Structure 1
Amino acid sequence: MYVISKLFTPISYVRISHPEKRYFDFVLPIITSVLITLVICFLPNKVNLIGKDSLVSVVNGILQILSGFYIASMAAVSTFQKDGMDDVMKGDPPTLKGDELTRRKFLSYLFGYLAFMSIMMYFAGGAIQLIQGNLGQFELLKASWLKIGLVFIYISVICNIIYTTILGMYFMIDKMHSAPERLVIHNKKNNNQDD
């Protein structure tokens, strides 16, 4: 079990708790994937889901690039030297197992999760592409409701990656470079001179 817990450490990001985080993790991806799935279902010309020039092949091309970006971002966060990176986040800090997270730890979890998910989805998409000729052999997969459900799940995970990436970019662009608040005490000097 100890080895398995190490393998799935990047998924610990999902267990981080914060009131706004559920919007990036679930609410926005689900709303977006419902809209995209409806568009795919009702377009007059059929969208290829697998195969050459298909949804999966386009997404895999993007994931191939993004996975490297996420790993580089993890390295940047780990080595970034700035005051405040190792302080607990301001306001209502995110927590993991009851512990308040520092900005460095939160971003490490975030980009670790994104790297893990993009690699997993890349290989899942690649596997689907490789076995596409065999998928037609299964009667169950010919059911339109199952196809729609699988497309919805696939797009939901991709949308989760997109919105979590936007959250990471927000922290990398804005929050990592904002100056931490400092308490400054000015000394008053008496410059009274005797006549």
Structure 2
Amino acid sequence: MLYQLFRPFSYLTIFNVGHKAFYDYIIPLALTIISLFTVCAGNNWEIAKIVSENRLAAGLFDVVKNLPGFYIAALAAIATFNKPELDNIITDQNNNSPQVNVRHVDHNGRVSDCPTAISRRVFLSMLFAYLTAMSFVIIILYVVFYSAGFLGSAYVVFASILNVAFTAMFWQVVVCTFFGLYYLGDKIHH
């Protein structure tokens, strides 16, 4: 059951994709550092003020709360897009294919994870499923911690950590969205 519930996050487990870690982690981390530096510098490094006013997390929440509908629509479009080339296995110039471990149950009932090459349709479906799930995670975490008062000034250290986490998740969603838009808007047609 957990395998199924957490499967939207399997996008992060895709391997044999050049520069995927750069898109998934390095760029979002750099943007997080730049964002936090800018916010802190703009508020004279008064962390307690930034946290108590809750502008950073609230601003990110305002953007993210509208994204799940877009991602679900993109997921539906990818799943139904009538282009046979989307179902071809992706290969690079060295004939390597992106792969993901897929759980299989053999005839004896043994469960094993088998590396499976994926098509563009599967890749994009996994990407937009991940983005949908991440949007919901950000929304739920924000609502839970904001309503519990953890993002207020009484818990400055904890609230600061949450703001950093929200910012990092936000930038990962943004960068992965642009990566997905590149595939939907350009790569899918070539």
TM-score normalized with structure 2 length: 0.80
For structure 2, the 5+ residue unaligned runs are 102-114
* Aligned pair partner of 2:2 in 1, 4, 16: 4
Partners of 1:50 and 1:15 in 2: CA distance:
37
Partners of 1:22 and 1:43 in 2: CA distance:
31
Comparing both structures, which one devotes a greater share of its residues to strand?
2
- The answer (yes or no) to whether the contact 2:43–2:50 under 8 Å persists in 1 is no
**What is the match of residue 57 of structure 2?**
56
Of structures 1 and 2, the larger Rg is shown by 1
Pairs within 5 Å for 1:13-32: 13-17=11-15, 18-32=17-31
More divergent stretch after superposition (3-12 vs 32-41): 32-41
Partners of 2:67 and 2:91 in 1: CA distance:
29
- The answer (yes or no) to whether the contact 2:32–2:164 under 8 Å persists in 1 is yes
Comparing both structures, which one devotes a greater share of its residues to helix?
2
Partners of 1:158 and 1:134 in 2: CA distance:
17
Partners of 1:74 and 1:5 in 2: CA distance:
20
**What is the match of residue 93 of structure 1?**
97
Secondary structure of the corresponding residue to residue 72 of structure 1: helix
Matched, 1:174 2:172: no
For structure 1, the 5+ residue unaligned runs are 179-195
**Root-mean-square deviation (Å):** 2.2
Pairs within 5 Å for 1:37-76: 37-44=36-43, 48-49=50-51, 54-76=55-77
Partners of 1:112 and 1:10 in 2: CA distance:
5
Check 1:168–1:59 CA distance in 2 against 1; reply closer, same or farther (3 A cut).
same
Partners of 1:134 and 1:48 in 2: CA distance:
10
Secondary structure of the corresponding residue to residue 88 of structure 1: coil
Matched, 1:142 2:156: yes
Matched, 1:154 2:155: no
Secondary structure of the corresponding residue to residue 96 of structure 1: strand
The size of the alignment, in residue pairs, is: 170
Identity %: 25
Partners of 1:170 and 1:50 in 2: CA distance:
38
Partners of 1:134 and 1:170 in 2: CA distance:
35
Matched, 1:80 2:95: no
Check 1:142–1:64 CA distance in 2 against 1; reply closer, same or farther (3 A cut).
closer
- The answer (yes or no) to whether the contact 2:60–2:166 under 8 Å persists in 1 is no
